[in-house]
Amino acid sequence: MSATQHLQSLVEEDWHAATHHAFTNALAHGTLSRDKMAGYLQQDYQFIEGFVRLLASAVAHAPTLADAVPGAQFLGLICGPENTYFLRCLQALEIPPTAPTAPETIAFQQLMNQAHRSGRYEIMLSVLVVAEWIYLDWASPFEDRADDLPFWLGEWITLHSGDGFAQVVAYLRNQLDTAWDTLDHDARTQVTATFAEAVRLERVFFDASWAGFAVAK
């Protein structure tokens, strides 16, 4: 079993809850209300800011150029097509990009900031692997539905499924699997705790999205 498989196996219940969520099921079936998607997007756009900084930091800490390049390309994807997706959604749903930051978003921002400031590649990867792998897991079964949905739902599935995105997740997991082999017991304990906390926060973020974030107008 790879290190990342092992880490996932330790948090099976939260993992399953986050990847088979009522929020993403409704999103994929086109039954999610505009208001719930709007609230999610306003909060997730704030998540993305911290995510971009964390990914940039991981790129800076990659051991070689070959290890950095796929991460840098993914950074380009987030700052390109994904950022544009957010801006198009906000315009279509007629909501501003700024909203008061919800506690569930703040918790994630704090974890990402902590990982960033740790200066430790394996801690950064622990959060990045969880964030992208959970999205690949929930979105992949719905890949075929994307085209029949309004773009603000369908493109969110497309951005998190398919071969290209699977390769991003494989790259991030491989970076963490490789780093894991070099870690001592203490460092592994910290990776395990960071990974578990990220999974828990993904679940909490979807719970709050499904309950409905307040939408700033």
Ligand X SMILES: Cc1ncc(CO)c(N)n1
Q: Which is nearer to ligand X, 122 or 132 (CB)?
A: 132
**Does residue 44 bind ligand X (CB under 6 A)?**
yes
Q: Output 48 or 188, the one with its CB closest to ligand X.
A: 48
3-state helix, strand, coil in the chain (%, to 5): 80, 0, 20
Of 55-63, 128-136, 139-147, 175-183: span binding ligand X (CB under 6 A): 128-136
155 flagged as catalytic: no
Q: Which of 104, 122, 155, 202 does the annotation list as catalytic?
A: 202
> Does 135 engage in binding with ligand X (CB under 6 A)?
yes
Note whether 22 and 49 are within 8 A (CB). Answer: no
Q: Does 155 bind ligand X (CB under 6 A)?
A: no
Q: Round to whole Å and give the CA distance between 212 and 36.
A: 5
Q: Which stretch binds ligand X (CB under 6 A): 9-17, 118-126, 129-137, 176-184?
A: 129-137
Burial class (CB within 10 angstroms; exposed 0-12, middle 13-18, buried 19+) of 166: middle
* Contact residues for 12 (Cβ-Cβ < 8 A; gap 6+): none
Q: Which is nearer to ligand X, 189 or 211 (CB)?
A: 211
In angstroms, the CA 204 to CA 206 distance is 5
205 binds ligand X (CB under 6 A): yes
3-class SS letters over 131-172: HHHHHHHHHHHHHHHHHHCCHHHHHHHHCCCHHHHHHHHHHH
Please identify which residue in 32, 59, 90, 131 interacts with ligand X, judged by CB under 6 A. Answer: 131
Residue closer to ligand X by CB (options 20, 63) is 20
* Residue 44 assigned to a binding site: yes
Instruction: Report d(CA 56, CA 63) in Å as an integer.
Output: 14
Q: Is 202 in the site for ligand X (CB under 6 A)?
A: yes
Stretch that binds ligand X, among 69-77, 113-121, 131-139, 173-181 (CB under 6 A): 131-139
On whether 132 is known to bind a ligand per the annotation, the reply is yes
Instruction: Report, in Å, the least distance between residue 186 CB and ligand X.
Output: 27
DSSP code per residue over 94-121: T--S--PPPHHHHHHHHHHHHHHHHT-H
Please say which residue, 51 or 180, places its beta carbon nearer to ligand X.
51
Where along the sequence are the contacts to ligand X (CB under 6 A)?
44, 47, 108, 131-132, 135, 202, 205
Catalytic residues: 202
Binding positions for substrate are 44, 82, 132
